[in-house]
Amino acid sequence: MNSTQVKLVQESFAKVVPISEAAAAIFYDRLFEVAPAVKAMFPDDMSGQRKKLMMMLAAVVNGLGNLESILPAASALAKRHVDYGARPEHYPVVGGALLWTLEKGLGEAWTPDVAEAWTAAYGTLSGYMISEAYGRAQAAE
């Protein structure tokens, strides 16, 4: 990720913050639509989970300018996700649901450059998380 992409992710996320509750609901609805099997990994009451998602996204987005500052938390999160049943192949599905949600939430502000920046951010972080949780060989697949 370059500094322009970091800025695009941060500026676009600032537009999502006011609709964070709706965005989180849309994200999980989309995730469960495209990957219904993962729904069993989540609680019946998703209100707390939706808040955790948005807090985690905010922390990651705010830390993108200093990636090293968020890597320990990303590593811990990745390892916890293994205990929940997450597998490496879930990461692209989650990323697709996230990008889809951002596109819907941002509307016209979802430009090709913003899409590319978010794709780069998610790719960087998910690759790191997969390598932390499952080893480098899994992250390369």
The span from the CA of 57 to the CA of 96, in Å, is 15
34, amino acid identity = V
Mean pLDDT across the chain, nearest whole number? Answer: 92
At residue 79, the pLDDT reads 92
**Alpha-carbon distances, residue 1 vs 5, 56, 117 (angstroms):** 6, 19, 7
Q: Which domains does the chain have, with CATH numbers?
A: 3-140 (1.10.490.10)
- What is the DSSP-derived secondary structure letter of residue 37? G
Total count of residues recorded for the chain:
141
pLDDT digit string (tens) for 130-139? 999 998 655 4
Burial 61-92 (b: 16+ CB within 10 A, else e): bebbeebeebeeebeebbeebeeeebebebbe
Per-residue pLDDT averaged across 90-98, rounded?
Answer: 96
pLDDT at 136: 60
For residue 135, the model assigns a pLDDT of: 84
Q: Per-residue pLDDT tens for 103-132?
A: 999 999 999 999 999 999 999 999 999 999
> What pTM was estimated for this model as a whole?
0.90
pLDDT tens digit sequence for 60-90: 999 999 989 999 999 999 999 998 889 999 9
Q: What is the DSSP letter of 111?
A: -
Residues 6+ apart with CB under 8 A from 78: 128, 129, 130, 132, 133
Residue 141 has pLDDT above 80, yes or no: no
What is the band of 140 on the pLDDT scale with cuts at 50, 70, 90? very low
Over the range 15-34, which residues count as b (16 or more CB within 10 Å of their CB) and which as e? ebeeebeebbbbbbebbeee
